[in-house]
Amino acid sequence: MINSRLFKVFNTAAFLIFLSNSVVFGQVTGSSAGGRTNSKTDLAEQAEARVLLITDNAGKHFKQGLSNLQENRRSAAREDFDKSVEVFLMSGVNVQSNQKLRDCYSQLTETIYRMEFPAKQLPQIRSLSATCNWNVENDLADKIAKLVQTAPAAPTGTTALMAPKTNNSSDSEILQGFSEQKFEVSPLDDLAKLELTPEEQQVEANPVAQQQYQYIQYAVSNKSLGFSFQVHPKIQGFVNYYQGRGRGTMETGLYRSGMFMRMARRIFREEGVPENVAWLGQVESAWKPSALSWASASGLWQFIPGTGARYGLRRTSHLDERNSFEKSTRASAQYLKFLANRYGGNWELALAGYNSGEGNVDRAIRKAGVANFWIAYPYLPKETRDYVPNILAVVLIANNPNQYGFGHVRPAPPLMYDRIRVPPSTNLSLLAQASDTSVEYLRYLNPELRSNVSPPEPYIINVPAGKSNDVVAVFKKLPASNRNMASITRTAVGESWQNIANRTGVSVEQLQSANVGAKTPKGKIVVPNSNNVKKTNYARPTTQMIMPTTSGVRVVKAKSGDTVAKIAAREGVSAVELAKYNGLFPTSSLSSGREIKIPSR
């Protein structure tokens, strides 16, 4: 939730750190016993003032966020709530060491989460206001709590990342609370309403369906799928559905499966679960990591909070591991293995239990008098009756797409990434710069993260493939105390420390201190943020000034609202090359008057 705007508050953060350090470490004079007592009193008062400053600043942003949310300015509200949390994160104070700060911060993150992800439990805005002493009006608190429970749906028709749009795909998204973080409707919601037509259920009178039904019998008898199940016409009914009106859904699922199926097969194999059972992910989420059902089931494997917790998927104000690629996949395999063992290796009953819970399956078995899915079928919830044959149909089609008319679908390439352990509360903006990517893509690779800051513990983060060494190299240069108070810049060939100091506004000494061991700047270097540096203020030019240089490199001054890409377009040069030449990114926003070097052509 805390976005890439985080670096814009660094100057404020630096001031807070400067203030807190002044309060804690400021010298207190006085040599008498009375002087020492006064010193202790002064320090206590100063510490209390520091806590009050932090909570007051956080409260101002939070109350502004409530006002924006009340006026339906949701994007602005999200930014205000981000800023409220950032006051704590960027204060330079150990929040956990002070009970008032700890309680206020904990309730703040929980309340924001309750507003972003509405559930039965309402956000406790009144309680937060009392804890932090923010004086939020009770009427406003109650109105906001009610508002986020009835958040409007976002427009439908948005195509998911990397997914081909089809006429039959369900790509509608829902807006949660004040946030514009997007979730995709789980296909399970539509499955609960799906009714096979008489034509789709017809097997005997349809020669093609009859032939395919015989293939199912053959595939089951020779155990080519890795697990056994009982052949039933209902399975062929779902095959017929996918070959007809559900074709787009199957094509989209087969395409998306390429991103995750290799990982799923590996983990299911490691957990002792038949690899083909992993195709239930297609029915559960259509391989959408952001899928969310009406029952608050989330992620690729659609865990509800309770079942996720049973299998070690943590859900805190910092992360929701139900959305993790690998952790949720392993939890899914472990749950399926538990269910299969519970029902004596019967995978149909195991799949039924995965959908509706083992309690419903146990009751259906007791009523049927035998542990057989098709005999217990009438006693199961309707959604579960369709869920199991649906998955079996998907398994059959996925294992022989040519026979069923899906041979033209080429699965997407596997989603590749490196995994690295990062320090507590690492800013994703810093990680994005170190790995040459965007915060948005890091959030896509780490959908379990609830903000743009990693959890307050060492945590394994996915970064773009091949970038782990770059990230590790940057972090080796960064002192722990400055880890989230710095940015990264790429140097140009032959560039000196002084060149970099000139364009970043940071002294040569500070640059060298932040890049221990680097005799000359090379590759990516760390640029510390400091409130002690005197920035150069440029007057906004009436026209763009072009200053020739003797080296064949021209220098232009940016206009208000310029980015590197905009200047590159005006100058007729490559945005990527211009960014590299100036140690920036093509999308970097430039302040008015910022000098940009244009290489000679």
Active site residues: 284
What is residue 455's three-state secondary structure? coil
The CA distance from 217 to 324, in Å, is: 37
Amino acid at residue number 200: E
Taking CA 176 as the corner, what is the angle to CA 329 and CA 124, rounded to the nearest 5 degrees?
A: 105
CA 439 to chain centre: 9
* Residue found by looking up tokens 């899906």 in the block: 406
For residue 460, the 8-state DSSP code is: E
**Tokens read off for 187:** 């296909």
**DSSP assignment of 469-488:** HHHHHHHHHS-GGGTTSEEE
With beta carbons less than 8 A apart as the criterion, state whether 508 and 497 touch.
Answer: yes
The CA distance from 318 to 314, in Å, is: 10
The CA distance from 46 to 268, in Å, is: 57
The CA distance from 236 to 392, in Å, is: 9
The CA distance from 529 to 514, in Å, is: 10
Taking CA 189 as the corner, what is the angle to CA 187 and CA 192, rounded to the nearest 5 degrees?
A: 110
Burial (CB count within 10 angstroms: exposed 0-12, middle 13-18, buried 19+), residue 410: exposed
The CA distance from 476 to 420, in Å, is: 13
**Tokens read off for 500:** 């970099």
Closest CA to 558 of 570, 575, 573, 576: 570
What count of residues does the chain have?
Answer: 601
Q: What residues contact 312, with CB distance under 8 A and at least 6 apart? A: 321, 327, 331
CA 167 to chain centre: 27
With beta carbons less than 8 A apart as the criterion, state whether 315 and 305 touch.
Answer: yes
The CA distance from 587 to 598, in Å, is: 16
The CA distance from 347 to 334, in Å, is: 14
**Alpha-carbon radius of gyration of the chain:** 29
* Residue found by looking up tokens 């909570």 in the block: 55
